[in-house]
């Protein structure tokens, strides 16, 4: 009895003493994207807020808010959970502060590999990795005697076979929503073909070539095997398609696997849903996918007290072994103590296959934007691949000139 009591007391006080980082003052306000792993991360950091104010905004529109909100002085948010692409505009506008002093003082549990250093200064602390990879329906592939596809050419062949069998009309799905999502699929496929977005040593575009054409043709083949509304489908929409059993092969973010494989929805579909690495394309040996990290950055236009409070709370989560053990299914954590589970296989395979990280270049956002709107007409069959690529380059050049990159 006494033993139980002691254990209970230990649990009660042990956890609270462990969680509270004894932050006395300051206010914490976090801007983050909205998916389960990030919610877990922010919740974990909240446990240690002490007597500091704590606010959080989870929004899938985070990219649109970030720059204006951090430009204000004092800025609306004290921290922004960013990724390799979204840290770039913050760097371009000089909106985030170096973290070296705070890492030295409070970053005990953070591993060196988590630090994002630019020009020798720590600008962000990463806590999870992400990529887009293949998901497949084991039952459907088995029934038709199809091997798990390793290349996009095999994905196309497999999808055609599934369609011919009459099992599914639109067997393939990927987030092809015009705009950011569609451009991201182009980026993946172009990198899979071994393409470089810019001519060496400058900001001149370099996509109107054979690799660009091959990329577009592959995207078109895949789109023809997708639901005809593909231009309006984002990650959430294709997840719904998958859960309704309309799709047998899908390219989706690793971070979405948690909600895809949870208890909601048809248990037969959930059970037959399997994960594998990203596919290669065009005989290349690196996957047609980009590696991403998610990490936290601190706003420059905030007081030192706020920065300190925010860093301590977030560092608590970014070095929390309990969190990565409890939420091992939600993400591929970069935090010490993470044991990869079956849902991490996509990212781990991608790293093994030598996938490249998303290009962290100051002008990449402009290229991404131009791709998102200019390749739509090619997919709709209104324009040739060469014309579409020419349009992308022209749109990019005008914007890059206005922005001072060319």
Partner 1 sequence: MPNKTFFWFFLPTGLAMILFIGLPIISTGIQSFYAQHDQVVKEVKKCDPFGCTVSIVVDNEETTKLREAKPLGKFNGFGTYVDRNHLAIDEIKKFWNETESFGAFVDQVTNLPFYKALIFTLTYCLFVTPNVLLLGFIIALSLNAVARKIRGPLIFGTILPMIVTPLVGSLVLFWMIDSQGIIGANIQNLMNDPYLSLKSSKTLTWITIIIYGIWHHSPFAFVVFYAALQTVPQEPVEAAIIDGASRFQRIKHIVLPHIYPVVTFVALISLMDNFRVFEPIIGFSAEGSAQSLSWLIYDNLVNEEVILFGSAAATSMMTIVGIAILLAPVLIRTWKEFKTAR
* Shortest reach from residue 401's CB to partner 1, in Å: 7
Contact between 269 and partner 1 (CB under 8 A)? Answer: no
> With respect to partner 1, which residue has the nearer C-beta, 269 or 360?
360
Q: Which of 51, 95, 89 is nearest to 72 (CA)?
A: 95
For the chain, how far is it from start to end, CA to CA, in angstroms? 75
C-alpha distances (whole Å) from 189 to each of 180, 186, 256, 400 are: 14, 5, 20, 23
Q: Which of 380, 87, 362, 404 is nearest to 197 (CA)?
A: 362
* Shortest reach from residue 220's CB to partner 1, in Å: 13
> With respect to partner 1, which residue has the nearer C-beta, 98 or 284?
98
- How many angstroms separate the CA atoms of 116 and 122, rounded? 6
Q: Binding residue for partner 1 (CB under 8 A) from 180, 209, 236, 270?
A: 180
Instruction: Give CA angle at 196 (193, 200), nearest 5°.
Output: 150
Q: Binding residue for partner 1 (CB under 8 A) from 16, 51, 59, 92?
A: 92
Contact between 200 and partner 1 (CB under 8 A)? Answer: no
- How many angstroms separate the CA atoms of 132 and 247, rounded? 17
Q: Binding residue for partner 1 (CB under 8 A) from 34, 104, 138, 228?
A: 228
Q: Provide the H-helix boundaries in 47-151.
A: 62-71, 87-92, 100-106, 138-143
> With respect to partner 1, which residue has the nearer C-beta, 120 or 283?
120
Q: Binding residue for partner 1 (CB under 8 A) from 114, 257, 310, 320?
A: 114
Q: How many residues bind partner 1 (CB under 8 A)?
A: 65
> With respect to partner 1, which residue has the nearer C-beta, 283 or 404?
404
- How many angstroms separate the CA atoms of 221 and 48, rounded? 50
Cα 60 to its chain centre, rounded Å, is: 12
> With respect to partner 1, which residue has the nearer C-beta, 198 or 311?
198
Q: Binding residue for partner 1 (CB under 8 A) from 19, 27, 36, 89?
A: 89
Q: Of 21-29, 114-122, 133-141, 323-331, which segment contacts partner 1 by CB under 8 A?
A: 114-122
Q: How many CB atoms lie within 10 A of CB 107?
A: 21
Local structure of 57: helix, strand or coil: strand
> With respect to partner 1, which residue has the nearer C-beta, 177 or 302?
177
Contact between 113 and partner 1 (CB under 8 A)? Answer: yes
* Shortest reach from residue 2's CB to partner 1, in Å: 47
Contact between 231 and partner 1 (CB under 8 A)? Answer: yes
C-alpha distances (whole Å) from 200 to each of 69, 206, 289, 365 are: 34, 9, 21, 18
* Contacting residues toward partner 1, per CB under 8 A: 63-64, 67-68, 84-86, 88-89, 91-92, 94, 113-120, 126, 129, 169, 177-180, 227-232, 291, 293, 334, 351, 357, 359-362, 365-366, 368-369, 372-373, 376-377, 380, 382-383, 387, 391, 394-395, 397-399, 401-405
């Amino acid at each position: 009895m006494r033993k139980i009591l002691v254990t209970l007391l230990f649990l009660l006080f042990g956890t609270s003493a462990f969680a509270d980082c004894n932050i006395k003052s300051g206010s914490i306000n976090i801007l983050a994207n909205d998916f389960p792993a990030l919610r877990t991360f922010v919740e974990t950091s909240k446990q240690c807020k002490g007597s500091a104010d704590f606010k959080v905004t989870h929004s899938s529109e985070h990219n649109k808010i970030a720059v204006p909100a951090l430009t204000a002085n004092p800025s609306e948010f004290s921290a922004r959970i960013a990724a390799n692409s979204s840290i770039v505009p913050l760097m371009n506008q000089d909106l985030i502060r170096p973290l070296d002093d705070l890492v030295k003082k409070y970053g005990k549990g953070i591993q060196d590999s988590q630090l994002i250093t630019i020009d020798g200064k720590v600008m962000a602390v990463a806590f999870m990795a992400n990529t887009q990879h293949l998901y497949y329906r084991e039952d459907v592939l088995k029934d038709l005697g199809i091997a798990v596809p390793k290349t996009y050419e095999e994905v196309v062949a497999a999808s055609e076979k599934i369609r011919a069998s009459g099992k599914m009309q639109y067997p393939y799905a990927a987030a092809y929503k015009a705009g950011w999502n569609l451009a991201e699929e182009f980026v993946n496929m172009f990198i899979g073909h071994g393409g470089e977005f810019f001519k060496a040593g400058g900001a001149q575009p370099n996509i109107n070539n054979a690799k660009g054409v091959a990329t577009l043709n592959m995207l078109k083949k895949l789109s023809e095997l997708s639901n005809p509304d593909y231009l309006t489908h984002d990650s959430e929409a294709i997840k719904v398609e998958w859960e309704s059993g309309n799709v047998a092969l899908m390219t989706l973010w690793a971070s979405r696997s948690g909600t895809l494989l949870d208890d909601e929805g048809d248990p037969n579909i959930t059970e037959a849903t399997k994960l594998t690495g990203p596919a290669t394309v065009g005989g290349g040996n690196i996957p047609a996918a980009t590696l991403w990290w998610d990490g936290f950055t601190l706003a420059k236009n905030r007081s030192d007290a706020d920065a300190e409070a925010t860093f301590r709370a977030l560092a608590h989560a970014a070095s929390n072994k309990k969190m990565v053990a409890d939420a091992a299914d939600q993400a591929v954590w970069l935090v010490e103590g993470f044991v990869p589970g079956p849902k991490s296989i996509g990212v781990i395979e991608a790293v093994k296959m030598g996938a490249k990280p998303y290009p962290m270049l100051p002008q990449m956002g402009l290229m991404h934007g131009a791709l998102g709107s200019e390749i739509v007409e090619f997919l709709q069959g209104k324009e040739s691949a060469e014309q579409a690529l020419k349009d992308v380059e022209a749109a990019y050049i005008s914007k890059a000139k206005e922005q001072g990159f060319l």
